[in-house]
Structure 1
Amino acid sequence: MAAKTMRFKTVLVAVLLAVAAAICGGSASQASAGTAAQSDSSQIVADMGAGWNLGNQLEANINGFPSETAWGNPTVTQALIDKVQAAGFKTIRIPVSYLRNVGPGPGYTVDPSWLNRVQEVVDYAYNRGMYVVINMHGDGYKTIDGSWLICDSPAQAEIKDKYQKVWQQIASKFQSYDQRLILESMNEEFDGQYGQPTQPCYANINDYNQIFVDTVRRTGGNNSSRWLLVPGWNTNIDYTAGNYGFELPTDQYRSPSIPSDEHRIMISVHYYDPWDFTGEETGNITQWGPAATDPSKTSTWGQEEYLDAQLKKMYDGFVAKGYPVVVGEYGAIDKSSFDSMNNTYRADFAYTLAATAKKYGQVSVYWDNGVNGQYGFGLFDRRAHTVTQQGIISAIMSGVGGG
């Protein structure tokens, strides 16, 4: 989602158990139709379970310098991560910005203290047996001070050299970690407008993904066989699965121990449709799904059938070909101050996304920005280490089959 500095990305589950059973049955039938390559990708998806984002922390910054408390959240602690795990989440995605913590060329050295802190937070989850995803999150937003991974900048030779050297340092730092650590090349990379992709911007995004894969693989160790996650244009489903210019990176430097018919590339997308329900900071649209009671408070689009069709595009385009898909962000902001039943619809939305992702063999990772109350995405109080939205958490766990 766009820069989260000011735009905090920000059910009674009204789907019958029979529907849930049908969804699970759909998942089984999809898997049974797969190939040997898919069985390995299906296993990683199953093992990752329900995911949660540590949002607005390691991508937060002050004047372009990453600072995990800059956007109002407290310092990340082991106790918080333990609470998230106890709630049933098996995967944590940790957005990370580098920005002005990257030194000048030609070396582009990343501040060692920042890399050490990233590793420390990763270890909070990794050492508990969780899956962890880390990425390069805010460096491609034009609206963020210190951003530099700009796909329509004329300085592409310098950008690509810097990108390669930064990822070489990150990958080397985590070279010995096993397959529970997943590296993600970048976040919502695009030219800043929400229309159709432009060129050569999309071609540069494809180049970034290829540089990322090649660089990580060449650092050796477990990186030679690690699962790597790459996005298309702005992590948009239509612009990734459709004929708009996305190219899967080649993986020529991976370990020869990986069977030739098996992939180790994952595809990243985000899901916030319909935006007037999930993210628009007004009280106009507060309801979603089949249990909605007021058409004037329900969006005219983006309901269950639409969500299903969108995730099916990712199944057809990637999962069916052995490439796992990670819905790396989804959720809806809190509008309960406008509608006392809003959290019910937020939980309905979370359940449906999680269940549909499972149906189509995909990982779902809820976006939590640490903000509770009006317009927040928070499921936990990061200071008190308590659950604030058990209904939404229970819906997610029910959707993935864990509750």
Structure 2
Amino acid sequence: MFLAVLLTIAASAYGAANQASAADTVARSSASQIVADMGAGWNLGNQLEATTNGYPSETAWGQPTVTQALIDKVRAAGFKTIRIPVSYLGHIGPGPNHTIDPSWLNRIQQVVDYGYNRGLHVIINMHGDGYKTVNGSWLICDAPSQAGIKAKYQKTWQQIANRFKDYDQRLILESMNEEFDGQFGRPTQPCYSNINSYNQIFVDTVRKSGGHNSSRWLLVPGWNTNIDYTAGNYGFAVPSDQYRSPSIPAGERRIMISVHHYSPWDFAGEETGTITQWGRAATNPSRTSSWGQEAYLDSQLKKMYETFVTKGYPVVVGEYGAIDKSSFDSSNNRYRADFARAVAATAKKYGAAPVYWDNGATERYGFGLFDRRSLTVTQQGIIDAIMSGVGARVAGSALPSGA
């Protein structure tokens, strides 16, 4: 922080032309360093992407208003990165300007500041605007009106980028979330080409806004943030970065690749009590999925490493986790912790940053690690497992049994 202050003072002395150069110097960080600095991450899920009747509202899905105290609790637990999913939807005005409701943008900034001002890395994205199942969604890759969609997307990101251009590189902007045609299967064209276009518009728009955005780390997903469809030969294209700051050495990247990992789904997300165990410590084969175990996890993240990390593009596992099925199997939380530890440790092994999905729900089928009303930890065993996985174990914590 002291260095940043000195650089800011120096920039003022040398004039506006040198100010951007000083900002770039502050913002610079290597691919391996940014992943190490991000450490273990946590999602503020089901809040700023919660919606009702086509309008985002942070309490729409039953969660309380986000507070500084909640973010402080998450930070105290050992998390160094907070991902804040954000929907815009009806808060975007009509064209051609597509002005975002100032009160909504102000609230987004306030929640960002809860983490950013505490020294955390913060990720914000465009989360629900591309879901066909969401009322008011518009970022639809197989819709016929692509020219209008792309113009709206560009104008929206231009406003977001301008609002945050003075934040240093601890703020990471993510173009979108789980964008695809809504069918869980092989990617289709020209839908995937449109997703690539959205990512390119995002990168170009953010870079052109100046300030720290000219050298900021930017996060982009492939088809539905699916590892196979992003790393495989299905059409994903890493955006070009022609407008980035010239002060960044030619061999360095400022693009990150976003994927999610919820495999095997019958353990991690399927809302039944059938598959409740995971991993080599599982004791009941009838409660364990026939696929998606440790070797599969390793092969998936190794694929991302070989395709992107070795070329200088860091990977962010922006969501992972497993829902609570302990009402069906009292040992379930042990396996949820084993799964979280394995994802975090494998991500670290392959140069990726893991960000746990917390939707605020702490009962049956919930992902929650914290009660957002009482500000209490509800799954210390899973938190401990994540911290041990990334090698950032909190002092005094203990691993769950079966480690």
Higher relative contact order (CA closer than 8 Å, sequence separation 6+)? 1
Partner of 2:229: 239
Q: Deviations over 1:47-75 (max 9, x none)?
A: 00000000000000110100000001000
State how far apart, in whole Å, the 2-side matches of 1:76 and 1:369 are.
13
Partner of 1:304: 294
Partner of 2:276: 286
Alignment of 1:178-257 (within 5 A): 178-257=168-247
Quote the sequence identity (%): 80
Q: Deviations over 1:325-376 (max 9, x none)?
A: 0000000000000000000000000000000000001000000000001000
Query: Please, which runs of 5 or more residues in structure 2 have no aligned partner?
Result: 1-28, 394-403
Counterpart AA for 1:378: G
Could you tell me how far 1:127 is from its partner in structure 2? Answer: 0.1
1:393 to 383, 386, 389: 383
Could you tell me how far 1:385 is from its partner in structure 2? Answer: 0.7
Partner of 1:32: none
Q: Deviations over 1:237-291 (max 9, x none)?
A: 0000000000000000000010000000000000000000000000000000001
State how far apart, in whole Å, the 1-side matches of 2:174 and 2:390 are.
22
What SS is found at the alignment partner of 2:30?
Answer: helix
Could you tell me how far 1:313 is from its partner in structure 2? Answer: 0.3
2:164 to 164, 174, 182: 174
State how far apart, in whole Å, the 2-side matches of 1:284 and 1:387 are.
27
State how far apart, in whole Å, the 2-side matches of 1:120 and 1:323 are.
30
Partner of 1:92: 82
What SS is found at the alignment partner of 1:262?
Answer: coil
Counterpart AA for 1:132: V
State how far apart, in whole Å, the 1-side matches of 2:181 and 2:90 are.
21
State how far apart, in whole Å, the 2-side matches of 1:346 and 1:248 are.
33
2:118 to 128, 146, 166: 128
State how far apart, in whole Å, the 1-side matches of 2:391 and 2:380 are.
16
State how far apart, in whole Å, the 1-side matches of 2:46 and 2:304 are.
27
Partner of 1:57: 47
What SS is found at the alignment partner of 2:165?
Answer: coil
1:358 to 348, 364, 373: 348
Q: Deviations over 1:56-104 (max 9, x none)?
A: 0000011010000000100000000000000000000000000010001
Could you tell me how far 1:40 is from its partner in structure 2? Answer: 1.1
1:265 to 242, 245, 255: 255
| Number of aligned positions between the proteins | 366
Structure 1: which 4+ aligned runs deviate by more than 6 Å?
Answer: none
Report the TM-score when normalising by structure 1.
0.90
Partner of 2:314: 324
What SS is found at the alignment partner of 1:129?
Answer: coil
State how far apart, in whole Å, the 2-side matches of 1:231 and 1:157 are.
21
Alignment of 1:337-352 (within 5 A): 337-352=327-342
State how far apart, in whole Å, the 2-side matches of 1:302 and 1:72 are.
32
What SS is found at the alignment partner of 1:315?
Answer: helix
State how far apart, in whole Å, the 2-side matches of 1:223 and 1:307 are.
33
Counterpart AA for 2:140: I
Partner of 2:359: 369
Q: Deviations over 1:23-54 (max 9, x none)?
A: xxxxxxxxxxxxxxxx8100000000000000
Counterpart AA for 2:350: Y
State how far apart, in whole Å, the 1-side matches of 2:115 and 2:121 are.
7
State how far apart, in whole Å, the 1-side matches of 2:97 and 2:37 are.
38
Alignment of 1:141-156 (within 5 A): 141-156=131-146
Counterpart AA for 1:79: A
Counterpart AA for 1:278: A
Could you tell me how far 1:124 is from its partner in structure 2? Answer: 0.1
State how far apart, in whole Å, the 2-side matches of 1:221 and 1:397 are.
34
Superposition RMSD on alpha carbons, in Å? 0.8
What SS is found at the alignment partner of 1:72?
Answer: coil
State how far apart, in whole Å, the 1-side matches of 2:213 and 2:63 are.
32
What SS is found at the alignment partner of 2:109?
Answer: helix
